[in-house]
Amino acid sequence: MAFDPQNKIIIITAPSGAGKTSITHYLLEKYPQLAFSISAATRQARGNEKDGVDYYFLSAESFQEKIQHQQFVEWEMVYEGKYYGTLKSELERIWNNHQVPVLDIDVKGAIHVQQQYPDSTLSLFIEPPSVDELKKRLQSRGTETEESLAARVNKASYEISFKHHFHRIVINDHLPRAREEAARIIEDFLEL
Ligand code: 5GP
């Protein structure tokens, strides 16, 4: 029988720099049943990010227009002046393809999606081993200015305080271990 995603949703949330992107990529490669939910965002593309692959990069005007037309499942101003959101059309696209969307989104967005789809959502919170470690990781990524680094570190401490809102907490003390733990949780949810 063909795989029936039953309109399930997987949310992977964490403070930025906790390693959620590498865990998300690992899961997406391992399970063809999953598909990355491409968010809309108004920030600039970084490095080799591509429109329609990493994000749908939108102007602030076009993002606002989609808010007005209720085209988002959730949206947030994640950083000062920068909007990010999950489009309803993106979830539909993935479900129509008989796959389960994986949302790599911030903590507030994750809580909103979970409230809207309480019976079909699995949420994973990826916790950094410590705020100091997280700061080191963000610094080594080399994509942050002093100011944006400080903003991300502050936001991280705040976000960690919401970890108990999520179904499962995976501590990313060692990436290969954390990936495997996440994989077991996904297999359970997908009934593999
Ligand atoms: P970045 O700018 O590093 O790509 O992402 C910044 C933060 O925005 C990350 O925590 C990321 O998970 C979050 N994010 C990405 N897409 C969405 C979205 O659609 N909605 C929300 N609420 N957050 C998002």
| Mean pLDDT value across residues 4-23 | 87
| 2 domain residue, yes or no | no
pLDDT of 72 above 90? yes
| 179 domain residue, yes or no | yes
Does residue 9's CB lie within 6 angstroms of at least one atom of ligand 1?
no
| 98 domain residue, yes or no | yes
| 174 domain residue, yes or no | yes
Rounded to the nearest 5 degrees, what angle is found at the Cα of 91, between the Cα atoms of 88 and 93? 105
Number of domains within the chain: 1
| Domain containing residue 151: CATH number | 3.40.50.300
How far does residue 85's CA lie from ligand 1's centre (Å)? 8
| 182 domain residue, yes or no | yes
| Mean pLDDT value across residues 144-161 | 89
Does residue 39's CB lie within 6 angstroms of at least one atom of ligand 1?
yes
Q: Which residue has the higher pLDDT, 70 or 139?
A: 70
| 108 domain residue, yes or no | yes
Does residue 159's CB lie within 6 angstroms of at least one atom of ligand 1?
no
Q: Residue 42's domain spans which residues?
A: 9-190
| 168 domain residue, yes or no | yes
| Percentage of the chain exceeding pLDDT 70 | 97
pLDDT of 5 above 70? no
Cα separation, 143 vs 149, whole angstroms: 9
How far does residue 76's CA lie from ligand 1's centre (Å)? 9
Does residue 17's CB lie within 6 angstroms of at least one atom of ligand 1?
no
pLDDT confidence band for 16 (50 / 70 / 90): confident
| 66 domain residue, yes or no | yes
Rounding to the nearest 10 degrees, give the CA dihedral for residues 177, 179, 184, 189: 150
